[in-house]
Amino acid sequence: MSDPKRITLITGANKGIGFEVARQLGKAGHRVLLGARDAGRGQAAADTLRGEGLDVQFVQVDLGDTASLARAAAAIEASEGHIDVLINNAGVALEGDGNVSTANLDAVRRTFDTNYFGAIAATQALLPLVKKSSEGRILNVSSRLGSITYNADPNWEYAAVKMIGYNASKAALNMSSVILADELKDTGIKVHVVCPGYTATDLNGNSGPQTVEEGAEEIVRLATQANAAPSGSFTGREGPAPW
């Protein structure tokens, strides 16, 4: 799985966990397509990793723009021919999110637009390229906050974190991942749902106790190891996670 010809596209990879995943997969021998919405930031991130001797190329990917996704898919098909690993990493947590009775509905909608609809849009645009791989994988970066089991447990360590937009968008992403895994069960493509853990990034004001290296750990494992987990499963650094 460390063959240098393996091609991995990561959305939202210009910073945070996505950037670190790009770095680690580049070191593992992957050709990394670093996806980002902002061309300046994305190109700068790719240039940084290329400066470290890694095979990284910037690809502009705007999850809210189907034309952007179509252009990205066409460009990748022309230059690479296929994608081996698609990592739907881009995500947001927005001010105004909160409990059902008080959350700002616009913030909830915008959260779903990126975390859920954006991931589906990227998958629909890029799946034909993953199907051209001899060993395709799709990794959806979720969160334990999207686990209904955990959210229903008052003794869970993060039980107080109740953000209807973020938590529900990740729960919806989990559901779509299970359905996608079933849809692709006869193709050889594996679908994984992964929680990187509470990692210090811009998403949470750098409040998480984990480093980005630790946050990237499970994503990189699923992207590189053969038979790392069953298709349609939900895992994190701690092991399997409940739905």
Q: Rounded to whole angstroms, how far apart are CA atoms 138 and 123?
A: 8
Catalytic residue among 150, 166, 190, 198: 166
Helix axis angle, 164-183 relative to 119-130, nearest 10°? Answer: 20
What the block records as the tokens of 173 is 């992403």
Instruction: Transcribe 31-99 into DSSP letters.
Output: EEEEEESSHHHHHHHHHHHHHTT--EEEEE--TT-HHHHHHHHHHHHHHTS--SEEEE------TT---
Can 166 be counted among the known catalytic residues?
Answer: yes
Residue 19 φ/ψ, nearest 5 degrees: -65, -40
Determine contact, residues 131/227, Cβ cutoff 8 Å: no
Report the alpha-carbon distance of residue 61 to residue 64 in Å, rounded: 9
Identified catalytic residue from 131, 132, 158, 170: 170
Angstrom distance (rounded) from CA 138 to CA 167: 21
Mark whether 150 is an active-site residue. Answer: no
Q: Torsion-angle region of residue 210: left (phi > 0), alpha (psi -120 to 50) or beta? A: beta
Closest CA to 180 of 228, 225, 134, 140: 140
Hey, which residues are catalytic here?
Answer: 166, 170
